[in-house]
Amino acid sequence: MSALSPETRINLEHSTVLLIDDSPEALEILSSVVRGFGVKQQIKCSSASEAVTIVKAKAIDLIIVDCAMPDMDGYDFVRWLRRDGPKRSITTPVIMLTGHATESRVEKSRDCGANFVVVKPLTPMILLQRITWVARDNRSFVDCDTYAGPDRRVRNLGPPLGMGGRREGDLSAHVGMATEANMDQSEIDMLLNPKRVSL
C-alpha cells in the first residue's frame, strides 16, 4: 500500500502513547517514528513492570510493546492489562512488536489479547497503517474465562452451518427453508408499480 488516503488519516496529536521495549536503541527508534506521526505525549518504558506502574497511574490511548523482554515479557504484560489492569485501560489498543513472526508467536500475541502484531525491523508506513487500522477497528471486546481482548474474528461470518453460536449476537449464515410460496415477478411488479387513483 502506498501513501494513506485522506479518508484514512488520523490525528494523533492529542494521543498518549506508551512505548515498551527493553532495548534502548529500539525504544529510541520507535519513539522517533511515533513522534513523526504527530504524537506529542509519549511515555517510554524499558520494562513491562515499569509500564504496569505507568498504566495504573495514567490513562493511555495506545500501547506499543515488544514481545520478548526479560522478567515480564510483552505477552504477560498484555494478559495483565486485559485481566487485572485499571478498568479504564482494559480495552486500550495494543500493537505488539516481534523480531520473529512465527505462526506460534502471532497466535500467542492474538491469544493474550493484542490488537495487532508488527514485525521488526518495522517501517514507519507499516506501523502507521496498523495504528490507523486499530483506530478504526470496531470489533467488540470479549471477556470470558479463557480470553480477554478484542474479538479474534476479524470477519464475523457467523458460526459454521449446523452449529449454534457461542455469543449472543451470533447469527447463522444459513438462511433456512422458505415458509411461504415465492411470488412471481408479475406479482412483485404489481405491488411495486404505482397505481393511478381517479377522483
β-bridge mates for residue 122, sequence order: none
- Note whether residue 132 is domain-resident: yes
Give the structural domain span for 78.
10-150
Number of domains in the chain: 1
- Note whether residue 106 is domain-resident: yes
pLDDT given for residue 152 in this prediction: 78
- Note whether residue 134 is domain-resident: yes
Q: Which grid coordinates belong to 118?
A: 508488527
* CATH code of the domain in which 37 resides: 3.40.50.2300
- Note whether residue 127 is domain-resident: yes
- Note whether residue 196 is domain-resident: no
- Note whether residue 182 is domain-resident: no
Judged by DSSP in three states, 118 sits in strand
196 exposure class (CB count in 10 Å sphere: 0-12, 13-18, 19+): exposed
Residues 20/25/29/35 CA torsion (nearest 10 deg): 60
- Note whether residue 114 is domain-resident: yes
- Note whether residue 91 is domain-resident: yes
pLDDT digit string (tens) for the chain, length 199 residues: 344 554 567 889 999 999 999 999 999 999 999 999 999 999 999 999 999 999 999 999 999 999 999 999 999 999 999 999 999 999 999 999 998 888 888 899 999 999 999 998 889 999 999 999 998 888 889 998 889 999 877 655 555 556 666 555 555 555 555 567 766 667 766 666 655 555 5
What is the Rg, in whole angstroms, of the alpha carbon atoms belonging to the chain? 23
